[in-house]
Amino acid sequence: MLEVDIRVRRGAFRLEGAFRSDAPIVALFGRSGSGKSTIVEAIAGLLRPDAGHIRVGGRTLFDAGRDIDLTPEARRVGCVFQDALLFPHLSVRGNLAYGERLTPAAERFVDRERVLSLLGLAPLLERRPATLSGGEKQRVALGRTLLASPRLLLLDEPLAALDAPRKAEILGYIELLRDNLRLPMVYVSHAVEEVTRLADRLVLVSDGRTLAEGDVAEILSRADLKPHTGRFEAGAVIDARVARHDEKYGLTTLAFDGGELVVPNVDALPGEPVRARIRSRDVALALERPRAASFQNVLEATVEGIGGEFGAIVEVALRVGPTPLAARITRESAERLELAAGKRVFALVKAIAIDRRSVGYA
Amino acid sequence: MAGAWRAAGHEAPRIAYGASSALARQADAGAPAQLFLSADLDWIDWLARRRHLAAPPVRLLANDLVLIAPAASRVEVRIAPGFDLARALAGGRLAVADPRAVPAGRYARAALESLGAWKGVQPRLAPAGDVRAALALVARGEAPLGIVYRTDALAEPRVKVVATFPEASHPPIVYGMALLDGAGPEARAFAEYAASPPARTVWARHGFRFP
Amino acid sequence: MLSGEELGIVVLSLEVALASVAASLPVAIAVAWLLARRDFPGKTALDALVHLPLVLPPVVVGYLLLVVLGGNGVLGPALASVGVVFAFRWTGAALAAAVMSFPLVVRAVRLSMEAIDPRIEAAGRTLGARPWRVFATLTLPLAWPGIVTGALLGFARSLGEFGATITFVASIPGETETLPLAIYAYTQVPGAEGHALRLSILSVILSLAALAVSEWLVRRRPGAARDA
C-alpha cells in the first residue's frame, strides 16, 4: 500500500498531492510541469516536502509531524528516469552490480538471472554506457534498479527520450516486469497510451494538485476532467475480456459491457482481461446500420451529449450500453444527422484503429 | 637625497630601485637611465667594460657592516678574531642577504671569513633574497641575529645593533656613482650636488660614512 | 652531466613540489566539492579566500606565512610544540608552494565536479549508496581528469614557486633552495648565466615530464576520459 500526502513549496512553486494505491501499477498522469516529478522525487527521498507523510507497505518514509525523513539510500525505493543516468565510468556489468552490491543479502529478493533474462541484458554486460542505444540504456537502467531489490519502483517518464519503436519495446519490457515480479510501481507519464496500457489505477495531477484518483478507464472518460486529460488525446478506454480468436484472419474478438469489439490479433488467451483505447477521431457515426461497409465494429449507441459546438469539429459523447465512448466528427455532420442527446445511433469503429499500441493487458 | 634636491628647487629625479644586477642589465639593454648608484662596484665595472659610462665612476659613500638582533634581545656578542658566533645563535639561524648573489651577503661572508667565524655559521645561515628581507627576519624575531648595513639597521626600529664589524674585516663597502652614456646637464648637476657638503649632512643622518 | 650540487637542487625541488601536491590535493578536493555541490553562508568569502594567492603578490603571501607560521609567528610556537616546524625548513618551502598553487588545483577539480550531472549522484543514492560512497565511487572517478589536471598544475606551479618561498624560508642550500631560487641566485652573479641556463633547461624538462605523466594518468582511467 502506497500512501502519499504531501505539501511542497519551493519559491513560487506549490504542490499539494495526496493519493493511496494498492494496485500493481499506479500511474501519475498529467501535463509537463504539473508536479508529477516532484511527487516522485519526494517519494524517493531526493526532495523533502514541507508537510505531510509518505508510507510504503506500512513503512513510514517521511512524516513531517514526527520528524521522520529517511535518507534516499535507506528507503529502498528504486528510480528509473527519463535519461537512464547510467554511470559512464562503469561497464553495464558494473552498473548492474552497483545497487545489488549495496543490498544486504537478507534483503535481496530479486533473482539476478531472472532480471537479466527478462530484460535481455546478457549480451550487453561488457559494454560501456556510451556505446548503448537509448533503448538499451533504459533496459540497463531498469535492470540496475531492480537488482537493488527495491520495495517500490518509481518510473519517471522512462519512455520520453525514446523514439516510437523503442518506446514500444521498453513498454513491453515494463509490462513483462509488471506481470512477472510482484513489485509495486509508480509510473509517471503525460502519454495516454502508456498509462492505459500499463496501469489499473490513475492519479491525475494538474497545476500542483492531485485532482482525482481512481480506475484508469473511468478517470480518462470523465467529462469534467477532460480539460486536464487533454483534448488531443481524446478517446475512450474500454475494459474488456478476450472472447475468441479467429486464426484464419488473425483477428480477436473482445467482449465488453455493452457489446463486442473486433481487433487485429491480441496476444492473450480467451478470458484474459485487456483494456482497449479507442480514439474519438477513429469513431464515425451513422443513423442506420451500414449494409456493405468495411467497418468490423458497428456498435449500437446512444448520444449523451455534444461538445465544442463553436468550431468545425465536435466531440460527441456516447454510451454503448453502460460503457462510454466518444466520436469526433464535423459540426456539419452532427447537424445534418440531427444529433441530440438521447438519439440512437450506430458507432462505426475500424478494427485497424485499435492497433497493438491501443490494447493493453490488465 | 632626492628630497633635498627638490627642496633646493630642482625637478625631482626619477628613481628606479632594484638589485644592482637587474638595473645594470637594464641599462645595458638600453633603459634610459642617466645615473647609476650602486654598492656593487663589480656591476659598475661591468657596465664600464661594455662602454656605457660617460665618465669614470666616483666613490660617493661608505657603509658599515653591523650585527643586529631583535630590539628585545639580551644577547651580547663581541666581534674579535675567532669569536664563536655559532654559539651566540643558540640553535637559531643567522639572517644575511644571500652571500652568493647579494653584495651585503658577500661582505658578510668576507667579514666572517677574515674573522674565522665563517665555517662555524655556514650551516646555520638563512640566506634571504636581499638585505631588507634579512632585516625583516631579525625584526620579526625569526632569526636571533643578522648581518646588515648600518643604514638598514638604523631604519628599522625593531632591531638594535649588537656590534659593528671592523672595517678591516671586509672589503670597503663603497657606493659608486656613475654617469651613464647620454647623461644630460640635470643629471650631472645632481651628481655634483650629491657629493657636496650640504648633501653629506643628509647622508650622515642616515648612517653613511665617507670613503 | 649534472654536478652533485645541481642534482641536490633538483631532488629538493622534486621533493618540495611532490609534498606540495600531496598536501594540497586532498584539501583542494574537499574545498572544490564544497564549492561545487553545496550552498552555505560565506560561500563567496571562501571562494575569494581560495583565490587570494592568485591575486596577491607572492612576496606578500610569503610574508603572511611568516607572520602566521614563522618560528615567532602567531601559530609557530604552538605547532613547534607538536613537532611541526616550517621556519627555514623544506616543509616551509612545500607549504609556500602549496598555498600558491592551491587556487589552481581547486579550480581544476571544481570544474570537473560541476560537469558531473548531480542526478547521477542522486541515482547512486536511490540505489542504496550513502553520501560517502557516492563521493568515492561516483564523484571522484568521474572528476578524475580534473583531479589529474589540478595535480599537474599544482606540481608545475610548485616547481616554479619563488617569491613566497624566499620570503618565508629564505634560500638555504640543501633545505629550501629550490630550482627557481638557485636560478635566481646565479643570475645575480655577473658571468654565471651558464649555470642559470643549465638549471632552467632542467626545469623545463621536469615540467614536460610532469605533463607527459599526467596525460598518461588521464588516459589510463577508463570511462571518463575515453567517453569524452
Instruction: Read off the pLDDT of residues A300-313 as tens digits, 9 standing for 90 and up.
Output: 999 988 876 667 88
Q: How sure is the predictor about C224, in pLDDT bands with cuts at 50, 70 and 90?
A: very low
**Interface with A, mutate which of C117, C127, C132 (most A CBs under 10 A):** C127
What's the pLDDT at A134? 87
Q: What is the pLDDT of residue C119?
A: 93
pLDDT of residue C225: 41
In whole angstroms, give the CA distance from residue B92 to residue B86.
9
Residues of A in contact with C122 (CB under 8 A): 46, 72
Mark yes or no for CB contact C120/A128 under 8 Å: no
Which chain C residues contact residue A75 at CB under 8 A? 126
Q: How many domains does chain B have?
A: 2
Both B82 and B160 in one domain: the answer is yes
Q: Do C126 and A77 touch (CB under 8 A)?
A: yes
pLDDT at A308: 66
The rounded mean pLDDT for chain B is: 85
Q: Looking at the domain assignment, is residue B211 inside a domain? A: no
Q: Does B21 touch chain C (CB under 8 A)?
A: yes
C residues 87..126 contacting B (CB < 8 A): 87-88
B126 and B89 in a common domain: yes
In this prediction, residue A223 carries a pLDDT of 62
CA distance B122 to B86: 9
Side chain identity at residue A283, one-letter code: V
Measure CA B13 to chain center: 21
CATH architecture of the domain covering C4-220? Orthogonal Bundle (1.10)
* Touch criterion met for B and A (3+ Cβ pairs within 8 Å): no
- Rounded to whole angstroms, the Cα distance separating A95 from A159 reads 20
Backbone angles phi, psi at C98, to 5 degrees: -65, -45
Report H helices in chain C.
4-37, 43-55, 58-69, 76-81, 90-114, 118-126, 131-134, 140-159, 163-169, 179-188, 193-220, 224-227
Q: Which residue of C has its CA nearest to A99?
A: C127
| Whether residue A231 has pLDDT greater than 60 | no
**Cβ pair A285, A316 in contact under 8 A:** yes
Identify the residue with better confidence: C92 or B206. Answer: C92
- Please list the alpha-helical segments (H only) found in B50-196: 85-89, 103-114, 118-121, 131-139, 150-155, 185-194
Question: Is B50 domain-assigned?
Answer: yes
pLDDT per residue as tens digits for the range C24-66: 999 999 999 999 999 999 999 999 999 999 999 999 999 999 9
B125 and B139 in one domain? Answer: yes
Question: What are C177-213's pLDDT values in tens digits?
Answer: 999 999 988 887 777 888 888 889 988 998 889 888 8
Mean pLDDT of B138-160: 92
Q: Which residue has the higher pLDDT, A51 or B38?
A: A51
pLDDT at C228 over 60: no
Select the CATH number that applies to the domain covering A2-229 from these four: 3.20.20.10, 3.40.50.300, 1.10.260.30, 3.40.190.10. 3.40.50.300
B196 and B147 inside one domain: no
Residue B19 sits in the same domain as residue B77: no
Q: What is the pLDDT of residue A225?
A: 72
- The verdict on residue B210 lying in a domain is no
Answer yes or no: is pLDDT of B121 > 80. Answer: yes
pLDDT cut 90: percent of chain B above it: 28
Query: Residue B14: what pLDDT?
Result: 79
Of the two residues C40 and A235, the one the predictor is more confident about is: C40
Average pLDDT over residues A133-138: 90
Sort out which chain C residues have CB atoms less than 8 A from A92's CB and list them: none
Phi, psi at C74, each rounded to 5°? -60, -50
Shortest alpha-carbon distance between residue C201 and chain B (Å): 21
Which helix (H) or strand (E) covers residue B28, if one does? helix B20-28
Please name the member of A73, A89, A128 whose beta carbon is closest to the beta carbon of C128: A73
Nearest to A72 among C125, C224, C227 (CB): C125
| A245-249: average pLDDT | 91
Selection from A163, A171, A176 nearest residue A357 by Cα:
A171
Domain boundaries, chain A: 2-229, 235-361
Tell me if B73 is assigned to some domain.
yes
Rounded to the nearest angstrom, the minimum Cα separation between C11 and chain B is: 19
Q: Are residues B183 and B144 in the same domain?
A: no
- Which residue type sits at A78? G
DSSP-assigned states of every residue in A218-283: HHHH-GGGHHHH-STT-EEEEEEEEEEEETTTTEEEEEETTEEEEEE--SS-TT-EEEEEEEGGGE
- Give SS3 for A84: coil
Task: Quote the minimal CA–CA distance from A291 to chain C in Å.
Answer: 59
Q: Which of C67, C73, C189 sits opposite B100 (nearest CB)?
A: C189
Supply the pLDDT for residue A55. 93
pLDDT band at C221 (very low <50, low <70, confident <90, very high): low
pLDDT at C164 over 90: yes
Give the pLDDT of residue A232.
47
Is C44 near chain B, with CB under 8 Å? no
Co-location of B93 and B130 in the same domain: yes
Cβ within 8 Å, pair C188-B98: yes
Q: What is the pLDDT of residue C207?
A: 86
Q: What is the pLDDT at residue A229? A: 65
The overall longest dimension of chain C from CA atoms, in Å, is: 69
Pairing of strands A201-206, A359-361: unpaired
Residue A111 has pLDDT above 70, yes or no: yes
CA of C72 vs chain B CAs: smallest distance (Å): 5
Lowest mean per-residue pLDDT among B4-18, B78-92, B142-156, B165-179: B4-18
Q: Mean pLDDT highest for which of A232-236, B104-108, C47-51?
A: C47-51
Over residues B67-90, mean pLDDT: 88
Contact A84, A119 (CB under 8 A): no
Nearest to A89 among C129, C133, C222 (CB): C222
Percent of all residues in chain C with a pLDDT value above 90, rounded to a whole number: 67
Highest mean pLDDT among A74-88, A169-183, A345-359, B190-204: A74-88
Which residue type occupies B180? L
C227 pLDDT band, cuts 50/70/90, is very low
| Domain A235-361 sits in CATH 2.40.30.20 | no
Sheet holding A2-10, edge to edge: A68-69, A59-63, A51-56, A2-10, A13-21, A209-215, A201-206, A25-29, A185-189, A152-156, A77-80
pTM: 0.77
- Surface-to-core class of residue A295, CB atoms within 10 Å of its CB (0-12 exposed, 13-18 middle, 19+ buried): middle
> Looking at residue A178, what is its pLDDT?
84
Q: How far apart are CA A261 and CA A238, in angstroms?
A: 10
CA atoms of B155 and B158, how far apart (whole Å): 9
Return the residue of B nearest to C171 by Cα. Answer: B127
Alpha-carbon separation of residue A335 from A287, A313, A314, A330 (angstroms): 12, 11, 10, 9
The reply to whether B154 falls in a domain is yes
Q: Do A128 and C223 touch (CB under 8 A)?
A: yes
Q: Which residues of C touch A79 (CB under 8 A)?
A: 123, 126
DSSP 8-state symbol, C138: I
Contact state of C128 with A128 under an 8 Å Cβ cutoff: no
pLDDT of residue C193: 81
Q: Is the pLDDT of residue A133 over 50?
A: yes
Chain A residue numbers touching C218 (CB-CB < 8 A): none
Q: Which of C71, C185, C190 sits opposite B142 (nearest CB)?
A: C71
Q: Which chains touch B (3 or more CB pairs under 8 A)?
A: C
When the pLDDT of each residue in chain A is averaged and rounded to a whole number, the result is 87
- Could you tell me if C224 lies within 8 Å of chain A, comparing CB atoms? yes
Residue C187 phi, psi dihedral angles, 5° rounding: -70, -15
Q: How far is it, in rounded angstroms, from Cα A119 to Cα A103? A: 21
State which residue of chain B sits closest to C189, comparing Cα positions. Answer: B101
> Hey, what's the cell of B125?
645561515
Helix (H, G, I), strand (E, B) or coil at A203: strand
Residue B135 maps to a domain? yes
pLDDT in tens, A47-100: 999 999 999 988 999 999 999 999 999 999 999 998 889 999 999 999 999 988
Q: Please state whether at least 3 CB pairs lie below 8 Å between chains A and C.
A: yes
**Given an 8 Å threshold on Cβ–Cβ distance, is B42 in contact with C190?**
yes
The percent of residues above 70 in pLDDT, for chain C, comes to: 96
What is the span of the domain harbouring residue B7? Answer: 2-62+172-205
